[in-house]
Amino acid sequence: MVDQPKSIIVESGGQAQPELKRVIGPGLLLLFVVGDIIGTGVYALTGTVAGKVGGALWLPFLIAFLVAFLTAFSYLELVGKYPRAAGAALYTHRAFKIQFLTFMVAFAVMSSGITSAASAAQAFGNTYLRKLMGDSLTIPTVWIAIGFILLLAAVNFRGVAESLWANVVLTMIELSGLLIVIVIGFYAITQGQGEPSRLLEIDTANQTPFIAVASATALAFFAMVGFEDSVNMAEECREPVRIFPKAMLIGMGVAATIYVLVALTSSLLLPANELSAAKSDALLRVVSAGAPDFPLWVFALIGLLAVINSALINMLMASRLVYGMANERIIPRAFGTVHPFRRTPWVSILFTSLIAVGLVASVDITLLGGTTSLLLLLVFTVVNVAVLVLRKDPVAHKHFRAPTIVPVIGAVTCAFLASPLSGRPAREYGIAAILLAIGVVLWGVNQLLFRSRVSDD
């Protein structure tokens, strides 16, 4: 498949719309996957995960990767069969043909992207920017976070090519930051620092080892999500059926390896209680412990750019998902409106950005991270079931096919990590319930508008 000419159009809102521009090749897609996974999760939540599990910090990150890897196979089969924007919502719609379920899955995925971007905005304003600027920064965090979201909206509107090239630069920078942590840790260990016995310590003060690991994994899963965002960019990829499997699996492997090495380094250099107390400053403390003379402002700048990249990609995903659902006629067609010159879905960009602005002012970053992983685990459970249902819907072209046992195990593990059995705090379910309740209200409004249009006709 070659890059499509600008004259090709699609229908949305009853008017001719230009097709999304196909600018993503295998290299850009690989960096998109890596950049989306490596970001806010590891830079902002490492300390919180350590507080849940103890010194065995590496274990929940490894388990989270294995669970995500299982679900990635389901996504690869489905994006190969249906290489279009909308991702999980599209697959749910084709598998079950229940519009309410499709809408709620779409709303859950959109909410997860926006909550993830909102957590990045808070980390931007409350941690790394303040570490970089010190006492000279007197602007309240909430206003910094809101300005941050609006800037992302402007970049998103400017165009996907510009957004993705910004992702390339920022991904390389955030990778360098994690490599700094790993190198500093390796150097410190060779100099006699570090306590290897901490790597097997599991916090059993108020819980069993199983619950400690499970609850930490449920939160660490937030650090491994992101691979699923890439399927929402399918209509802007060249030859998506061919390039997706290799880009996604390599990208996830790279991210998981780096995460486990960073977790090992962190536990070797600092005890879990110090990492937990540091919260979103945990990696800054690790760098300071391993190399006291290292200029912390450099790492603070890298962390700042890392959360920018994570937020940018999540807002890209959320807006493209809304665009895709408009084209599937699950939500009003107006959300599929494409700007005639920028060729970006400007209405969906505006809509998702306004929701993000509301979230950054009202929810704590730790709860945002946990709620993000909860929503996505619920969606992943549905996707793993959908891939099995859609086996009865063959397509004419060749595509990736996952072994049947993989989505079965994926569905079971995702459902467990989303359940109260994993030790999730009740407040995460409360936030998720509020968000999904808003979705139910929007569904009802959409149905009333649809019936009104039918009666008028």
Q: What is the DSSP string of 254-300?
A: HHHHHHHHHHHHHHHHS-HHHHHHHGGGHHHHHHHHH-TTS-HHHHH
- Single pTM value for the model: 0.80
pLDDT level of residue 8 (50, 70, 90 thresholds): very low
In tens, the pLDDT along 224-233 reads: 777 776 776 7
In tens, the pLDDT along 96-150 reads: 989 889 889 888 888 888 888 888 887 787 777 877 887 677 788 788 888 888 8
User: For residue 337, what are its two tokens?
Assistant: 């409106």
Burial class of residue 32, CB neighbours in 10 A (0-12, 13-18, 19+): buried
User: Which is higher by pLDDT, 292 or 42?
Assistant: 292
The number of beta carbons lying within 10 Å of the beta carbon of residue 396 is: 4
User: Which is higher by pLDDT, 138 or 249?
Assistant: 249
Phi, psi of 10 (to 5 degrees): -130, 165
Alpha-carbon gap, residue 117 to 312, rounded angstroms? 7
Are 366 and 45 within 8 A, CB to CB? yes
Query: What's the pLDDT at 4?
Result: 38
Query: What's the pLDDT at 17?
Result: 55
Domains along the sequence of the chain with CATH? 23-448 (1.20.1740.10)
DSSP tag of 198: G
Residue reference for tokens 């994926």: 410
Nearest CA-CA partner of 33 in 305, 228, 172, 258: 228
Phi, psi of 312 (to 5 degrees): -60, -45
User: For residue 50, what are its two tokens?
Assistant: 């350590």
Q: Is the pLDDT of residue 72 over 80?
A: yes
Residue 46, C-beta contacts closer than 8 angstroms, at least 6 positions apart: 57, 262, 263, 266, 275, 282, 283
Share above pLDDT 70 across residues of the chain, in percent, rounded to a whole number:
88
| Average confidence (pLDDT) over 302-315 | 81
Query: What's the pLDDT at 232?
Result: 65
Query: What's the pLDDT at 388?
Result: 95
Mean pLDDT for the chain overall: 83
Q: Which helix (H) or strand (E) holds 44?
A: helix 40-53
| Helix intervals (H) in 328-425 | 346-360, 365-389, 405-418
Q: Is the pLDDT of residue 385 over 80?
A: yes
Alpha-carbon gap, residue 68 to 102, rounded angstroms? 22
Query: What's the pLDDT at 185?
Result: 92
Query: What's the pLDDT at 10?
Result: 42
Sign, Cα dihedral of 373, 391, 1, 14: negative
Q: Helix 209-224 crosses helix 405-418 at what angle (to 10 degrees)?
A: 110
3-state secondary structure of 423: coil
Are 35 and 41 within 8 A, CB to CB? no
| Average confidence (pLDDT) over 8-14 | 43
Alpha-carbon gap, residue 395 to 98, rounded angstroms? 21
Are 151 and 308 within 8 A, CB to CB? no
Q: Which helix (H) or strand (E) holds 179?
A: helix 160-190
pLDDT level of residue 65 (50, 70, 90 thresholds): very high
**Lowest mean pLDDT segment, chosen from 62-76, 233-247, 412-426:** 233-247
Alpha-carbon gap, residue 377 to 68, rounded angstroms? 9
Query: What's the pLDDT at 241?
Result: 76
User: For residue 441, what are its two tokens?
Assistant: 């209200």
Find the largest Cα–Cα distance for the chain: 79
| DSSP-assigned states of every residue in 210-271 | HHHHHHHHHHHHHHHTTGGGGGGGGGGBSSHHHHHHHHHHHHHHHHHHHHHHHHHHHHHHS-
Query: What's the pLDDT at 294?
Result: 92
Residue 122, C-beta contacts closer than 8 angstroms, at least 6 positions apart: 141, 145, 360, 364, 365, 368
User: Which is higher by pLDDT, 391 or 40?
Assistant: 391
Q: Is the pLDDT of residue 438 over 90?
A: no
Are 160 and 20 within 8 A, CB to CB? yes
Query: What's the pLDDT at 13?
Result: 45
Residue 414, C-beta contacts closer than 8 angstroms, at least 6 positions apart: 67, 71, 377, 378, 380, 381, 384
**∠ CA(314), CA(320), CA(321), 5° rounding?**
90
